Structure formats: structure tokens, C-alpha cells
Amino acid sequence: MKEKHTPASCRGGGGGGVRCVVALLLAALVLSGDVAGATSFNYKDALTKSILFLEAQRSGKLPPDNRIKWRGDSGMEDGKLAHVDLTGGYYDAGDNVKYGLPLAFTVTTLAWAALAFKPELQAAGELKHVQEAIRWGTDYILKCAAKKNHMWVQVGDPNLDHQCWVRPENMPTPRTLYQIDGNTPGTEIAAETAAALAASAMVFRNDKNYARRLMNKAKLLYQFAKSHLKTYDGECPFYCSYSGYNDELLWAATWLFMATKRQVYADFITHEAISSSVAEFSWDLKYPGAQILLAPHNMNASGGMQSYKTQADNFVCAVLPDTPFHQVFITPGGMIHLRDGANSQYVTGTAFLFLVYADWLDTARQDVMCGATPIKPARLREFAKQQMDYLLGDNPRGRSYVVGFGSNPPTQPHHRGASTPVLKPGTVVNCGMSFGDWFAPDRPNPNELTGAIMGGPDGADNFIDKRNASACTEPCTYINSLAIGALAALAGRGPNLVASKSHGYDQM
Ligand SMILES: *[C@@H]1O[C@H](CO)[C@@H](O)[C@H](O)[C@H]1NC(C)=O
Ligand SMILES: *[C@@H]1O[C@H](CO)[C@@H](O)[C@H](O)[C@H]1NC(C)=O
């Protein structure tokens, strides 16, 4: 593995690169942190807000029922440089670029949440909002993938975007287009997008025409990905695929299998796909997600010797601090910490996977096996709750890392739209002045980026609530998409988090 997975967009943008290094001696004291079970938050409120953040990231023409009052239409000429319509979709993080790989991953994981925690989302009155959030992504993806063996994979020149601190409604920066095709393949993006569309087709199965469109496109993109094996490096250094494309190929085949139950995908999964045991689930690395989805299906990974159940177990064993095989660093305050910058994705992603896996383990009456040590599903749920509780306020600082939620929430998210005042449409912004005017001032953002989960504290539980501390204060769409299922479970189930109703994973 090369240096870091951290996308520069979750680090940089003007005076970025500042780490959370406030040397507060306090942090060394009283960090028991382990009061899980006793702690409780208004999870329903956190859930509602976590979806609102995704609405604040919308690009394109906003609908009349837009709930984010400080947002307006933006990126309305996206695609024009190639005479196509690429309006819509999501800005990734604190910048105004639409990156294909993390955008598709955001949609895949949102769709998974809508399938795995459907009764809970429904009970909270949020299923419709999550479905709308998925569709905001899939409508855009369908535009990007309109032609066969071709896909528009990015809108916006990230280097120039990062030299301008301006809200998307007024951006003067070039909306450069990036594409993959037969000559310039992009296996990761094509496969992740196939996964996103297959998972979304399951969500929209009752909308038959739309689901069929999604499914047909998913199959074509999967074929394209498999027959053109090459990493696209055009999103690097912002989103470099450090893990290669094998995980995306397995992940795409898994979602196509989930949606269709067709043998052709099962064959690929058992005979061809490469699958490894890893300790991370992220926009770059998807093995544990696929392994947990495949664990119920009694299949072995190709090579034959390990079942997907064993590999899913290995993920759990690598994360949990109380197993003989743990690898993942946990801060003194109890939070998973893999690296600075968008670290919260590992926190929310692990919580989500643990809750999904615990449900299946219960149904199948199985434990996780860490060598000879059995781990009960209840332990996975307890750990998942503790990770989410940390972000909501049960941490050494006693503060929330979710904007607009709980105690002492962040006030200076590293985010262009939230930190620039609302300007009249057509206002011409001077990029040179923009950093002095809107990035540098030490004051709360004028617009509340409600529900945004920050990149989060560093490995010593330290956090700087400053716009230029981007590793701490930058949000990303996939941090939130991964949180939504876990928050729904916390909001809708009793204290032991056991499912009372079945899921909605029916195939197409
Ligand atoms: C599948 O893996 C298990 C170990 O997890 C092994 O015992 C079994 O023989 C494997 N099956 C095949 C068909 O290779
Ligand atoms: C970050 O911003 C704060 C004010 O919000 C300022 O005091 C500090 O010097 C800045 N740090 C860097 C490295 O620019």
C-alpha cells in the first residue's frame, strides 16, 4: 500500500494540511469512554439531519421542495463542453467537483442502507428521503453512462476548483469533463457504478421501468469493467485507487448477484473474483462489504479454501479490540482511527457493516469466529453503537462531530457553500480574494451545514474546529451515506439493537 488513502479533497483546499495537533494535556486524562449501553442520543434527529447533509451537496436544478434554504441551482452548464447534459449529482465534500468513484460508492451504500434498514427508515419517516437521495444520484449516473462502453466520470477541474473558495452557485471555475472508454478504461469506476445501479434497482423494484433501466445499465457497466481491466488515474491525486480494481469487481458481481440471483455472477464470485481479508471498508476498499453480503450464501472465495463467511469474520476480528487478531488502531477515547482526513468513514462504515452482519448472524444462529474464540452478534451491535455514539458526543471532548446536532457541534466545516454568504445569482467572484473573504476569517460559517459528519478527531481524540483544519472539519458524502443505516437502527430498535422485522433484500 502506498502512503495514504486520504483524498486530497478531504485535506486540502487553500491552507489545508493542518492536522489536529492541539496538544491538550487534558486528552491524556479520564478517557474511559466505555459507557456504551448507558449512553443515549436523539438518534432520530441525527438520522434526519444526516440525510439533510446530502441534500446540501446536490448539484443541478434543485426541486421546489428543496429543504436547504441557502442552496440554489448550480452547475447548470455541466456537460456543455461536450454538448451533453451532465447536470445533477453530488458535490463530493467541501469542494465543488463531482467525482465519479466516491459518488457511485455513496449511492451504493445509501441503497444498501435502504435495503437493510428499510423498516427502521420507514418507521422514522425517512425512507422517502433516502430514496430521493439515491435517485438524485442514479438520475445523474444514467446521464453519465448514456453511451455504451463510455462514461463521464468527473465534472470540474479539481486543481482550479481548489484555487477558488466559492459556493457552487457562483463558481467561475472550469467544469472540465473527464471520461472513460475502450481506450482509456476505468475498471474501478465502471464496476462501482454497476454496483450502485444494481443496488438501486433493488430499492426501486416497484418502479418497474426505472428499475429495469438501472439494471440494464448495471449489466453493461459490469461487462465494460470486466473486459477492460485498467485503473483510471484521472481522479488522482484526489481520488487514487490504492487498492486496485479487484475489490470493485467482486463488489459489482455481488450486487448483480443480489439483484438477479443469476448463476453467471455466482460463478464469477466463486471461481474468478479475487477476495482478500482486510481491516478496512471505504470508498477505495470494498472487500468486507462484499464478504458480509455473501456470507449467507454459502460460497467460497475463488481459490476455494476460505468461505466468504470466514473472510467476513476476519474483518470483524481485525477491527474488534477484544479479539486475538485485532489490527485496527482505536484511539484512547475509543474511536477507530486509520488515517487523518475523512477518518469518520471508517467509523460509520464499520458501524454499518457490523449491524448488518449481526442481523444475519442472528437469523442463521451463528457467531463470528476469531480463531477458536466465538464473538456473539450482541458484541458487534455494542461496538457499532459505541462508534456512532462517539461521533454524536460520547467522546473525551464531550462534544458532537455532527453539525447542528447535540452538544457543542462544529461551527467551521471546511466547505465552500456553507462558509460563503448567499450571493445574488450571477455575482462575479474573484477567486484570488475568495480565500481572504470567506476561508480565512475565524468565525462560524454563515450557513449551517446541518447533519454533516466531520472528518473527525485525530488518533489522540483531538479536534480543531477551524475551517483550515480540513482533516478534522471536512465532510464527505460517503461518511454520511454509511452513517444513515446505523442511525436508523439506533433510532428504530430497542437498546439491544436486535431487528424485529425482516429486511427488504428481495431480488428484482
Ligand atoms: C470452502 O472452504 C472451507 C473452509 O472455509 C473448506 O472446508 C471447504 O472444503 C471449501 N469448499 C470448497 C468447495 O473448496
Ligand atoms: C488556521 O486558521 C486560524 C484562524 O481560524 C488561524 O489562527 C491559524 O493561524 C490558521 N492556521 C494556518 C496554518 O493557516
pLDDT in tens, the chain (508 residues): 222 334 433 333 333 333 333 333 333 333 333 444 468 999 999 999 999 999 999 999 999 999 999 999 999 999 999 999 999 999 999 999 999 999 999 999 999 999 999 999 999 999 999 999 999 999 999 999 999 999 999 999 999 999 999 999 999 999 999 999 999 999 999 999 999 999 999 999 999 999 999 999 999 999 999 999 999 999 889 999 999 999 999 999 999 999 999 999 999 999 999 999 999 999 999 999 999 999 999 999 988 789 999 999 999 999 999 999 999 999 999 999 999 999 999 999 999 999 999 999 999 999 999 999 999 999 999 999 999 999 999 999 999 999 999 999 999 999 999 999 999 988 999 999 999 999 999 999 999 999 999 999 999 999 999 999 999 999 999 999 999 999 999 999 988 999 887 776 765 5
Q: Is 234 in the pocket of ligand 2 (CB under 6 A)?
A: no
pTM, 2 dp: 0.93
Query: What pLDDT was estimated at residue 29?
Result: 32
Distance CA 379, CA 326 (A): 14
Q: Is 122 in the pocket of ligand 1 (CB under 6 A)?
A: no
Distance CA 204, CA 202 (A): 5
Q: Is 57 in the pocket of ligand 1 (CB under 6 A)?
A: no
For the CA of 310, the closest atom of ligand 1 is 5
Query: What pLDDT was estimated at residue 402?
Result: 98
Distance CA 197, CA 108 (A): 7
Q: Is 466 in the pocket of ligand 2 (CB under 6 A)?
A: yes
Q: Is 372 in the pocket of ligand 1 (CB under 6 A)?
A: no
Pocket probe for ligand 1: among 307, 308, 309, 314, the residue whose CB has the most ligand atoms within 8 Å is 307
Q: Is 25 in the pocket of ligand 1 (CB under 6 A)?
A: no
For the CA of 304, the closest atom of ligand 1 is 14
Centre of ligand 2 from the C-alpha of residue 15, in Å: 8
CA proximity to 410, closest of 460, 472, 483: 472
Cβ atoms of 378 and 364 within 8 Å: the answer is no
Q: Whose CA is closest to atom 4 on ligand 1?
A: 306
For every residue of 213-254, DSSP letters joined together read HHHHHHHHHHHHHHHS-----TTTTTS--SS-SHHHHHHHHH
For every residue of 59-123, DSSP letters joined together read -BSPPTT---TT---B-TTTTGGGTS----SB--SSSS-EEHHHHHHHHHHHHHHHHHTHHHHHH
User: How do the domains of the chain map onto residue ranges?
Assistant: 38-492
Task: Identify the nearest ligand to the CA of 302 by its number.
Answer: 1
Radius of gyration over every alpha carbon of the chain, rounded to an integer in angstroms: 21
Cβ atoms of 347 and 391 within 8 Å: the answer is yes
Q: Whose CA is closest to atom 8 on ligand 1?
A: 305
Q: Whose CA is closest to atom 11 on ligand 1?
A: 304
Centre of ligand 1 from the C-alpha of residue 299, in Å: 9
For the CA of 309, the closest atom of ligand 1 is 5
Residue type, 240: C
Catalytic residues: 414
Helix (H, G, I), strand (E, B) or coil at 402: strand
Q: Is 414 in the pocket of ligand 2 (CB under 6 A)?
A: no
Cβ atoms of 60 and 75 within 8 Å: the answer is yes
Q: Whose CA is closest to atom 1 on ligand 2?
A: 468
Pocket probe for ligand 2: among 442, 445, 464, the residue whose CB has the most ligand atoms within 8 Å is 442
Query: What pLDDT was estimated at residue 166?
Result: 97
Query: What pLDDT was estimated at residue 504?
Result: 64
Task: Identify the nearest ligand to the CA of 301 by its number.
Answer: 1
Size of the chain, expressed as the number of residues it contains:
508
> Domain 38-492: which topology?
Glycosyltransferase (1.50.10)
For the CA of 305, the closest atom of ligand 1 is 2
Query: What pLDDT was estimated at residue 495?
Result: 85
Query: What pLDDT was estimated at residue 38?
Result: 63
Q: Is 304 in the pocket of ligand 1 (CB under 6 A)?
A: yes
Query: What pLDDT was estimated at residue 490?
Result: 97
Q: Is 18 in the pocket of ligand 2 (CB under 6 A)?
A: yes
CA proximity to 350, closest of 392, 312, 295: 312
